[in-house]
């Protein structure tokens, strides 16, 4: 059979046609905003953070306990999620708003408590609390935060600020912090209960991670390609803590010297009597403790393995969630953290029954990548991912997410 040639008629393009094709992006002159603009995922922010932050503070954020099984299992479980979308639903208008402990928020996640935050990047807690306030999400100040309770209240007076409490051996000093939080307008107290001793955070030991950072030949060599971090650290006010004046030693030594390993459910009941605001118990890892915490007066529980930073081989919160939800019902809200790195992780947790979720590392990677702008970018990335995932699932509101939307593929989880 004879081959029919293809004849293409050619012409010169009109100038108007060329101008429509050749549209140049607006230049971004700020190096910080330029690198953040290129970050499309939380992992992109992590890559930037690793390049810009000395190894010790980066590993403090990035690492977990012992062999880091707890953290890796939590992340693998989220990766093993298979969604079951509903089609032919009108998702032209989708809302990510949720009501959590009596207050409506624009997004179904908040910023979890993180210690030593100004060591990751000098803007620290102030970047976190102001970004959260502007995004209409809650912010939690850690007992081991590097800005005071009063500093956070002043920086974000219209934000929903929470205070996270580690019960110390010095009970009077612990409750003095609670009184300061109350006086500063913090409406919720988060009692973290999974730290009777510090976890074996081996990266910190290997890096000689101390508070404040120690200058050794290793840290100096590591700092050479990261001058911006050291310039910020050395030319701003010294680290101060929400809860103590100073410390010279490793993080683990600090935790072990301060935290009370004798705390029991009786202490939780005592705190409930002495705190009139909302009370959240963070670090729940089994159903019995969840039930006992609710009986003791908790308004909400955070299922958490501390981001894998305490007990290695701890339960995966996402897998624990359905059973706890079944046993607790509506007696308390059930929140979840640990391993969240994508908006789809948050959607999966909500579909499985979580009332709210919390991010730690995800926001810290943004902080290390670009201060307040980086935190904004982390929130923006997660928000965009949540919205897109909900639309693709056919859910117009968070309340429309159901367990039937989610399946965990066992072969991928293991």
Q: Which of 44, 19, 149 is nearest to 370 (CA)?
A: 44
Q: Let me know if 408 is exposed, middle or buried by CB neighbors in 10 A (0-12, 13-18, 19+).
A: middle
Among residues 37, 158, 306, 342, which one is catalytic? 306
Q: Let me know if 162 is exposed, middle or buried by CB neighbors in 10 A (0-12, 13-18, 19+).
A: buried
Which stretches of 204-252 are assigned E, i.e. beta strand? 210-211, 249-250
Q: Is the dihedral of CA 45, 220, 209, 67 positive or negative?
A: positive
Say if strands 356-359 and 406-408 run parallel, antiparallel, or are unpaired. unpaired
- Give me 140's structure tokens: 């939690």
Q: Tell me the CA distances in angstroms from 159 to 38, 134, 142, 186, 373, one per residue in order.
A: 29, 8, 16, 9, 18
Q: Which helix (H) or strand (E) holds 103?
A: strand 103-105
Characterise 393 by phi-psi region: left (phi > 0), alpha (psi -120 to 50), beta (else): alpha
Give bridge partners of residue 30 from the DSSP assignment: none
> Is-catalytic flag, 306?
yes
Q: Which helix (H) or strand (E) holds 333?
A: strand 333-336
Q: Which helix (H) or strand (E) holds 128?
A: helix 124-135
> Is the Cβ–Cβ distance between 171 and 274 less than 8 Å?
no
Q: Is the dihedral of CA 58, 64, 69, 71 positive or negative?
A: negative
Which residues are known catalytic residues?
A: 306
């Amino acid at each position: 059979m004879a081959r029919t040639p293809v004849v293409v008629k050619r012409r010169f393009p009109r100038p108007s046609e060329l101008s429509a094709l050749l549209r140049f992006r607006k230049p971004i002159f700020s190096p910080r905003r330029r690198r953040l603009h290129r970050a499309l995922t939380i992992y992109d922010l992590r890559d930037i953070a690793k390049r810009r932050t000395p190894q010790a503070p980066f590993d403090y954020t990035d690492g977990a306990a012992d062999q880091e099984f707890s953290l890796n299992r939590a992340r693998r479980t989220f990766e093993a999620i298979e969604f079951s979308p509903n089609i032919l639903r009108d998702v032209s208008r989708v809302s990510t708003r949720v009501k959590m402990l009596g207050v409506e928020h624009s997004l179904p996640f908040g910023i979890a408590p993180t210690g030593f935050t100004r060591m990751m990047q000098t803007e620290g807690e102030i970047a976190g609390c102001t970004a959260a306030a502007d995004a209409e999400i809650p912010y939690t100040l850690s007992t081991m935060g590097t800005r005071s309770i009063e500093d956070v209240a002043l920086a974000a007076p219209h934000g929903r600020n929470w205070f996270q409490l580690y019960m110390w051996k010095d009970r009077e000093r612990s409750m003095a912090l609670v009184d300061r939080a109350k006086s500063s307008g913090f409406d919720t107290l988060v009692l973290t209960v999974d730290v009777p001793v510090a976890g074996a955070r081996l990266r910190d030991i290997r890096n000689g991670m101390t508070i404040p950072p120690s200058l050794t030949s290793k840290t100096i060599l590591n700092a050479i390609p990261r001058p911006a971090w050291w310039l910020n650290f050395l030319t701003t006010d010294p680290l101060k803590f929400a809860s103590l004046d100073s410390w010279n030693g490793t993080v683990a030594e600090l935790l072990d010297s301060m935290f009370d390993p004798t705390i029991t459910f009786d202490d939780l009941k005592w705190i409930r009597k002495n705190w009139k605001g909302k009370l959240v118990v963070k670090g729940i890892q089994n159903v019995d403790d969840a039930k006992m915490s609710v009986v003791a007066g908790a308004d909400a529980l955070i299922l958490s393995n501390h981001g894998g930073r305490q007990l290695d081989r701890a339960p995966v919160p996402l897998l624990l969630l359905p059973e706890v939800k079944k046993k607790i019902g509506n007696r308390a809200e059930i929140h979840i953290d640990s391993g969240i790195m994508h908006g789809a992780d948050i959607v999966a947790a909500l579909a499985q029954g979580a009332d709210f979720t919390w991010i730690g590392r995800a926001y810290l990677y943004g902080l290390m990548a670009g201060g307040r702008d980086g935190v904004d970018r982390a929130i923006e990335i997660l928000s965009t991912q949540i919205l897109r995932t909900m639309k693709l699932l056919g859910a117009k509101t968070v309340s429309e997410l159901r367990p039937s939307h989610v399946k965990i593929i066992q072969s991928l989880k293991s």
